[in-house]
Amino acid sequence: MELTLYFATNREHIGADRANPERYGERPSSDGIQNLRFGKITITLDDVIVQKHLHNNADGAAGNGTDLAEYIKDCTQSIEAKPDILNPDNTVSFGSPDIFEHLKNAMSKNQDVLIYVHGYNVDWKEAVAAAASLQIMLNRPQIRGNKQEVIVFLFSWPSDGKVLLYLPYFSDRQDAEGSGIALGRGILKLRDFLIKIRKEAMGSVTNQKEFYEAFVHKTTSTDGLLCGRNIHLLCHSMGAYVLQNALPFLAQHTAGNTFEKLFEHIFLCSADVDDNVLEQDKSMGTLHELTKWVSVYTNSSDKALHISSSTKNLSERLGLNGPSRMALLHRKIHHINCSDIVQEGFTEHSYYLNGLVNNDIRKSINGEPHSKRENRDPDNIKPNVWWLQR
């Protein structure tokens, strides 16, 4: 089987041909850390091996996306890329419109888009493998049902990919800060593209009722735009810190006092940011404006986040025990505690790829209400807090 994955990256290209690189490296793009390349990756997979991982049990439900990602990492990849470069004279060479057109066409065929931002210590092949595994897991027939397919769009930043004591961690946090602007640029390009197709769709609307149906309910307009599909965002580990650093850039380029709602769901999985960061006066206090829902997935036994908290002179991580003061957060924000269902080992940090947690993410994409899901128990004291159970 062949899988197509779309991407944007601010990593350096490896190889003589920018349009067909061998891969992307550990350093930022030679054009600058804020500059992006857009493209698509074709991955050749053995369907028998894929199905074996989809039927393996990782946390109480079928689907071992962590082991699936390990398999995909060594599979053959073919890359087609187009640069999106900010030139010294402030002119821009655009590579994004072509890829956005692909996404628009996909959405017109009953497909949602989920933008995926990976975390720390992830090289290019690992980033691609995680995104591909996420796409396969989210589209398993038993959890997808008759709902829309999900296309995963990878945003890959120059995470170091090496572990030399603790030194790379600080480098990666610096890279994550700079990459926040690149992610912000990508989100703004997406926003401008959506505005463009909405304006195009407006030209086909002939009366007030049709306008209401097209833009409030997002039904299909006559030229196949909008089509009732949604865009979601999932940030894993230090990917949440990249998003945190994207927000000031977005604010600088947003008219008015609030963000436009671009996403249906934002998922923060094993988030390597401060546990109070979502409060109103903090650096991610406006995140809820970008989306209909924010879901924070946590595991109190996450070793990677314990190391982050205890050895880097940082406050407790959001991905360990969730928001420190849940009552102060916007009602859109939900905390899903996964501590009871994750297993020992590597899955403690990447559990969003496996069975039950991945099922829960897919149920959000499907539009299933938070309070009507199996495998969830509400916290009897804190509102919007849920315990995931086998």
How many Cβ atoms sit within 10 Å of the Cβ of residue 304? 21
93: β partners: 85
Question: What confidence category does residue 291 fall into, taking pLDDT thresholds of 50, 70 and 90?
Answer: very high
| Least confident among 28-37, 120-129, 276-285, 319-328 | 28-37
pLDDT of residue 221: 35
Please give the model's pTM, rounded to 2 decimal places. 0.89
Question: What confidence category does residue 234 fall into, taking pLDDT thresholds of 50, 70 and 90?
Answer: very high
Question: What confidence category does residue 28 fall into, taking pLDDT thresholds of 50, 70 and 90?
Answer: confident
Which run of H or E residues covers position 352?
none
pLDDT of residue 213: 57
pLDDT surpasses 60 at 300: yes
pLDDT surpasses 70 at 367: yes
pLDDT of residue 7: 94
Residue 121 CA to residue 221 CA, distance in Å, equals: 43
Specify whether the CB–CB gap between 246 and 180 falls below 8 A: yes
List pLDDT tens digits, range 117-171.
999 889 999 999 999 999 999 999 989 888 889 999 999 999 864 443 444 445 5
Q: Is 256 left (phi over 0), alpha (psi -120 to 50) or beta?
A: left
Residues 363, 149, 113, 213, CA torsion sign = negative
pLDDT surpasses 60 at 346: no
> What are the boundaries of each domain within the chain?
2-388
Output 188 or 335, whichever has higher pLDDT. 335
Question: What confidence category does residue 224 fall into, taking pLDDT thresholds of 50, 70 and 90?
Answer: very low
Specify whether the CB–CB gap between 84 and 155 falls below 8 A: no
Mean pLDDT, the chain, whole residue set: 84
pLDDT of residue 207: 57
Average pLDDT over residues 345-355: 79
pLDDT of residue 219: 44
- Residue written as tokens 């821009």? 92
pLDDT surpasses 50 at 79: yes
pLDDT of residue 32: 78
| Least confident among 7-11, 39-43, 93-97, 286-290 | 93-97
pLDDT surpasses 70 at 313: no
pLDDT of residue 59: 85
Residue 21 CA to residue 274 CA, distance in Å, equals: 36
CA end-to-end span of the chain, whole Å?
Answer: 32
Q: Tell me the two tokens of residue 54.
A: 């989809």
Average pLDDT over residues 237-244: 96
pLDDT surpasses 80 at 199: no
pLDDT of residue 65: 95
Nearest CA to 158 among 72, 84, 242?
242
